[in-house]
Amino acid sequence: MSQETTMDVTLRVWRQKGPDQPGRFETYAAKGVTPDMSFFEALDMVNEELVVKGEEPIAFDHDCREGICGTCALTINGQPHGPDRGATGCQLHLRAYKHGDTITVEPFRARAFPVIKDLCVDRSALDRIMAAGGFISVNTGSAPEANSIPVPKAKAEAAMDSAACIGCGACAASCPNASAMLFVSAKISQFALLPQGRAERERRALAMQKQMDREGFGNCSNEAECEATCPKDIKIANIARLNREFLRAVFCSNEKHPETDGQEE
Partner 1 sequence: MTMKLDARIPDGPVEKKWDKHRFELKLVNPANKRKYDVLVVGTGLAGASAAASLAELGYNVKVFCIQDSPRRAHSIAAQGGINAAKNYPNDGDSVRRLFYDTVKGGDYRAREANVYRLAQVSNSIIDQCVAQGVPFARDHGGTLDNRSFGGAQVSRTFFARGQTGQQLLLGAYGALMRQAGKGAVKLLPRREMVELVVVDGVARGIVVRNLITGKLESHAGHAVLLCTGGYGNTFYLSTNANSCNVGAAWLAYKKGAGFANPCFTQIHPTCIPQSGEHQAKLTLMSESLRNDGRVWVPKNKGDRRAPGDIPEAERDYYLERKYPSFGNLVPRDVASRAAKQMIDEGRGVGRTGLAVYLDFADAIKRQGQAKIAEKYGNLFDMYHHLTAENPYQVPMRIYPAVHYAMGGLWVDYNLMTTIPGLFCLGEANFSDHGANRLGASALMQGLADGYFIIPYTVGGWFAGNKFPKVDESHPAFRAAEASAAGRVKRLLEVRGKRTPVSFHKELGRLLWNNCGMARNEKGLREALERIPAIREEFWKDVMVPGSGADFNQALERALRVADYLEFSELLVRDALERRESCGGHFREESQTPDNEAKRDDANFSHATVWEYAGEGKPPIQHREPLEFKDVVPSQRSYA
Q: Which uninterrupted H or E stretch holds 80? A: strand 79-80
Q: Which stretch binds ligand FES (CB under 6 A): 27-35, 57-65, 203-211, 222-230?
A: 57-65
Does 72 bind ligand FES (CB under 6 A)? Our answer is yes
Nearby residues of 205 by Cβ (< 8 Å), 6 or more positions away: 133, 188, 242, 245, 246, 248, 249
Q: How many residues does the chain have?
A: 265
Give the whole-angstrom CA distance, residue 70 versus residue 85: 15
Nearby residues of 163 by Cβ (< 8 Å), 6 or more positions away: 186, 187, 190
Can you tell me which of 88, 179, 185, 209 binds ligand FES, judged by CB under 6 A? 88
**CA 253 to centroid of chain Cα atoms:** 31
Can you tell me which of 12, 15, 31, 95 binds partner 1, judged by CB under 8 A? 95
| Minimum gap (Å) between residue 132 Cβ and partner 1 | 6
- Closer to ligand FES by CB, 132 or 170: give it: 170
| Minimum gap (Å) between residue 73 Cβ and ligand FES | 8
Give the whole-angstrom CA distance, residue 114 versus residue 215: 11
What's the CA angle centered on 125, arms 237 and 43, to 5 degrees?
90
- Closer to partner 1 by CB, 2 or 254: give it: 2
Select from 28, 80, 78 the least CA-distant residue to 49: 28
Can you tell me which of 37, 70, 128, 239 binds ligand FES, judged by CB under 6 A? 70
Q: Residue 72 binds which entry of ligand FES, partner 1, none, with Cβ cut-offs from 5 to 8 Å by kind?
A: ligand FES
Q: Residue 138 binds which entry of ligand FES, partner 1, none, with Cβ cut-offs from 5 to 8 Å by kind?
A: partner 1
Report the interface residues with ligand FES, using CB under 6 A.
Answer: 62-65, 67-72, 88, 90
